[in-house]
């Protein structure tokens, strides 16, 4: 399919700059694929929209304070987004502006003279390999790392205390993501309790969101785009729960595109999800045969993005673009801090 088929115009006012007053006060658009119908709810209604016996799977990856502001040898500002460790002292990082950070460039991070960094290499995907000589990168992030808010949030370079709390799911555990698995941001303890009371199962897997989430689709045909691998861990318990639900005719509801890619990528030829630890580079486009998931809870995504392509693959491109037009007309808020959709 052509990339332009996944484009749409979004008024600037529709890009959420702050989270909803409370997590579950975000709006929720129910997209019914069979009836081709859209219905407006709020996220707190989710337990009533799911069925007893549904198997809900979430991504429990914790966002790390990956953004670090630094200065080069000339005192000019440089921004680093630490993406993935190679060792305690050496990480791969997205660096802006990259032209100032060739191999050998030396940087000073934060206000601490001791936080000295050096670019020691450039990976095939353009990420810089950055080394700290006087301590670990983890210690650097703890000392002066910032929540990695997306750049379309105007204050992304100056996040506040609210962002440290709200740009994180309430069930986040293993650290490793450089962007939030945003569909999960709307859950509260009360919503999770009500889901359990309605006998809806809740299971966790881990997919650490990496630079793939920032990589725009630039190929004319969306199928020609390539996604970098991301780290995933699917335990035996969640795999067994998904397989049991499928065998018993119960729905598997994926919370987010990351959970979708993890589960679909771990599904074998026999249709069963296998435990997995390693990397996933599955890129889902229209025509993909979904085997693991039956419903998808996800936020509104950027035009021309691999995330929007995945959602359109699950629900049909024309239906999703109609849903987005409905959401814009109805005043929904888009992207990371915005509202959600439930596609059934």
- Residues 100, 239, single domain; the answer is no
Residue ranges of the alpha helices (H) in 99-188? 137-144, 161-166
Query: Quick check: bond before 333 cis, omega within 30?
Result: no
Mean pLDDT of 302-320: 97
Q: How far is CA 19 from the centre of its chain?
A: 16
Whether 155 maps to a domain, the answer reads no
Q: Is 150 a domain residue?
A: no
Q: Are 239 and 321 part of one and the same domain?
A: yes
Same domain, 108 and 251: no
Q: Looking at the predicted structure, is the pLDDT value of residue 110 above 90? A: no
What value, to the nearest 5°, has the Cα angle with vertex 309 and ends 307 and 314? 100
Compute and round to an integer the Cα radius of gyration of the chain. 20
Q: Which residues contact 144 (CB under 8 A, 6 or more apart)?
A: 68, 69, 109, 110, 111, 112, 115
Assign 158 a pLDDT band (cuts: 50, 70, 90): confident
- Residue 343: the pLDDT is 99
Do 226 and 284 reside in the same domain of the chain? yes
Q: Is the dihedral of CA 56, 61, 65, 70 positive or negative?
A: negative
Q: State the pLDDT at residue 324.
A: 99
151 found inside a domain: no
Q: What is the pLDDT of residue 179?
A: 97
Residues 140, 127 share a domain: yes
pLDDT of residue 157: 77
| 154 occurs within a structural domain | no
In tens, the pLDDT along 142-155 reads 999 999 999 999 98
In a domain, 247, yes or no: yes
What pLDDT digit, counting tens, does each position of 187-205 carry? 999 999 999 999 999 999 9
Q: Among residues 144, 174, 199, which one ends one of the domains?
A: 144
- Asked if residue 334 and residue 248 are part of one domain, the reply reads yes
Q: Is residue 157 part of a domain?
A: no
Q: Are residues 48 and 71 in the same domain?
A: no
pLDDT value at residue 53: 98
Band of residue 286 on the pLDDT scale cut at 50, 70, 90:
very high
The pLDDT tens digits for 14-37 are: 999 999 999 999 999 999 999 999
Enumerate residues 6+ apart whose C-beta is below 8 A from 38. Answer: 29, 30, 31, 32, 322, 323, 326
Where in the sequence is the domain holding 299, given as residue range(s)?
3-63+165-343
CATH code for position 265: 3.40.1780.10
pLDDT grade for 156, boundaries at 50, 70 and 90: confident
Which of 147, 143, 163 is CA-nearest to residue 18?
A: 163
Q: pLDDT at position 113, please?
A: 65
Is there a single domain that holds both residue 55 and residue 201?
A: yes
**Closest by Cα among 94, 103, 89, 96 to 125:** 94
| Phi, psi torsion values for 257, nearest 5 degrees | -70, -30
**In this structure, are 260 and 173 located in the same domain?**
yes
Asked if 123 and 175 sit in the same domain, the reply is: no
Q: Which of 95, 111, 144 is the last residue of a domain?
A: 144
Query: What does the DSSP 8-state code read for residue 272?
Result: -
Check whether 114 has a pLDDT greater than 70. no
What share of the chain in percent tops pLDDT 70?
A: 99
Quote the CA–CA distance of 293 and 271 in Å, as a whole number: 11
Residue 291 in any domain: the answer is yes
Pairing of strands 128-132, 116-122: antiparallel
Domain co-membership, 242 together with 333: yes
pLDDT of residue 231: 95
Task: Give the number of C-alpha atoms closer than 13 A to the C-alpha of residue 278, restricted to the C-beta side.
Answer: 8
CATH number at residue 116: 2.40.10.240
Same domain, 89 and 235: no
Whether 300 contacts 334, CB under 8 Å: yes
Q: Give the per-residue pLDDT at 112.
A: 58
Q: Give me the pLDDT at residue 155, please.
A: 84
pLDDT per residue as tens digits for the range 161-187: 999 999 999 999 999 999 999 999 999
Q: Say yes or no to pLDDT of 283 above 90.
A: yes
Dist CA 310 CA 304 (whole Å): 11
pLDDT number for residue 306: 96
Number of domains in the chain: 2
pLDDT at 149: 95
82-108 average pLDDT score: 92
């Amino acid at each position: 399919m052509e990339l332009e088929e996944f484009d749409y115009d979004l008024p600037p006012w529709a890009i959420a700059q702050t989270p909803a007053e409370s997590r579950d006060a975000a709006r929720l658009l129910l997209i019914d694929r069979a009836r081709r119908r859209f219905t407006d709810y709020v996220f707190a209604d989710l337990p009533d929209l799911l069925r007893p016996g549904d198997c809900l799977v979430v991504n429990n990856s914790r966002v790390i304070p990956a953004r670090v502001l630094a200065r080069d040898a000339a005192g000019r500002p440089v921004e680093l987004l630490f993406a993935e460790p190679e060792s305690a002292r050496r990480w791969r990082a997205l660096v802006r502006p990259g032209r100032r950070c060739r191999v050998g460039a030396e940087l000073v991070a934060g206000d601490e003279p001791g936080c000295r960094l050096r670019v020691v290499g450039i990976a095939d995907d353009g990420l810089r390999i950055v080394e700290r000589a006087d301590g670990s990168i983890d210690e650097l992030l703890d000392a002066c790392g910032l929540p990695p808010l997306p750049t379309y949030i105007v204050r992304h370079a100056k996040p506040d205390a609210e962002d440290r709390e709200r740009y994180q799911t309430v069930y986040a555990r293993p650290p490793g993501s450089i962007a939030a698995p945003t569909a999960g941001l709307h859950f509260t303890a009360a919503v999770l309790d009500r889901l359990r009371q309605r006998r809806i199962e809740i299971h966790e897997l881990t997919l650490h969101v990496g630079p793939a989430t920032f990589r725009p689709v630039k190929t004319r045909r969306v199928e020609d785009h390539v996604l970098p691998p991301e780290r995933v861990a699917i335990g035996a318990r969640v795999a067994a729960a998904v397989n049991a639900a499928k065998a018993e005719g119960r729905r598997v509801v994926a919370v987010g595109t990351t959970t979708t890619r993890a589960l679909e990528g771990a599904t074998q030829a026999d249709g069963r999800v296998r435990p997995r630890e390693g990397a996933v580079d599955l890129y889902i486009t229209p025509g993909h045969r979904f085997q693991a998931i039956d419903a998808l809870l996800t936020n509104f995504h950027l035009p021309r993005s691999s995330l929007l392509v995945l959602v359109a693959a699950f629900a049909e491109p024309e239906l999703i673009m109609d849903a987005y037009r409905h959401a814009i007309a109805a005043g929904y808020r888009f992207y990371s801090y915005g509202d959600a959709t439930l596609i059934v």
